[in-house]
Structure 1
């Protein structure tokens, strides 16, 4: 059940973003589009409540419950950036906004380091949710599977850190202009 809710929340997140951007740029209703974009955190709240209710009603925590915590962490830490990414492209396509720029060199490396901070924040948020879920259930036997996600979160942070170090040492080069 939780896996289906995660999928529905991911779909809902992008439906709200796309609907908000369509209303904002295609229909020209900027304020209404902003309202739809501002509703995206509601999706996270729905997932959090559903996960807590599922575990509080006696379910044993499984991979899906851990994924819900990871999803929430990523959504909270990266949600604003994802919306900005989509907004830039919609503005360019439908509202004569500037062309999205691709970053190179140290500018790209700096963005990688900002992503490291976001990833650490996402991992900490996810870890906090994992801990909260375990504490709310109060039965270590039913929440043992959640502890397996802590090393995964550490691995995700490590991969992003290596990525940023790599692009700092070997910056992305701009393609030659022909």
Structure 2
């Protein structure tokens, strides 16, 4: 393991970015709701997306310096895609939960289970997955362009260390599409008789809104 990490320092940076995400998020929310230091909280939360910039820059600098595009560079692209696509909703949920626990705010809303709200929710969540895949592919393409290796034929993606990440995510996107938004659209679950209609969660409460705006 030590030898692998020495040969692939980008893996350590990816791990550091993941740890940094949660440290900055936790510190930012603690500053907001425990210390009542809103300005400090905003600064800490603004630093969260800076981690993504650092990661993608390090990856591009690495290949520009002569390192061949590898599995690690593909992993960095996938990590960036997921943090951009899902980071906003993760921070919104954490902010709402923190506000509920320490500031008397409402609890995080549970995902809808029935009807049109459930359909809209599933499409929105799958859209995040598709966006993550698209961002990952875009970053992989840019990395290949910087390295001068170009785009291999689609049939050779699995054999390429970096492009294999794009190939791995393709079936995930398709299975998620069929199993959730498509299936829910064709056969939306019905609410039990007498239950109140559900609405899909769209925005954070006012107490949490500012914190979510500093992410994506």
**TM class by smaller structure:** 0.7 to 0.9
Are 1:158 and 2:166 matched, yes or no? no
Shift in Å, 1:58: 1.9
2:93 to 72, 85, 88: 85
CA contact (8 A) 2:17 2:55 kept: yes
CA distance in 2 between counterparts of 1:30 and 1:109 reads 36
Structure number with the higher helix fraction is: 1
| CA displacement 1:44-79 (0-9 Å, x = unmatched) | 001001111111222222221111000111111111
Unaligned runs of 5+ in 1: none
Distance 1:115 1:4 in 2: 29
Deviation of the 1:154 alpha carbon: 1.5
8 A Cα contact 1:108 1:172, kept in partner: no
2:88 corresponds to 1:70: no
Task: Report the more deviating stretch, 161-170 or 11-20.
Answer: 161-170
Aligned length, in residue pairs: 174
Contact 1:116 1:160 in 2 (8 A): yes
1:63–1:145 contact (8 Å) kept in structure 2: yes
Supply the RMSD in Å over aligned alpha carbons: 2.3
State the match for 2:24 in structure 1.
16
Q: Tell me what 1:39 maps to.
A: 47
Match for residue 149 of structure 1?
A: 165
Can you give the 5+ residue segments of structure 2 that lack an aligned partner in the other structure? Answer: 1-8, 152-156, 193-216
Secondary structure of the residue aligned to 1:171 is coil
d(CA) in 1 for partners of 2:118, 2:45: 27
Q: Which structure is higher in RCO with an 8 Å CA cutoff and minimum separation 6? A: 2
**Shift of residue 170 of structure 1?**
5.2
TM-score (structure 2 length as normaliser): 0.73
- Look up the SS of the partner of 2:125 in the other structure: helix
Task: Render the CA deviation track for 1:76-128: whole Å, top value 9, x for unaligned.
Answer: 11111111011011010111010122122132332121111121111111100
1:135 corresponds to: 145
TM-score by structure 1 length? 0.88
What is the CA–CA distance in structure 2 between the aligned matches of 1:38 and 1:159, rounded to whole Å? 34
Distance change in 2, residues 1:93/1:160 (3 Å): same
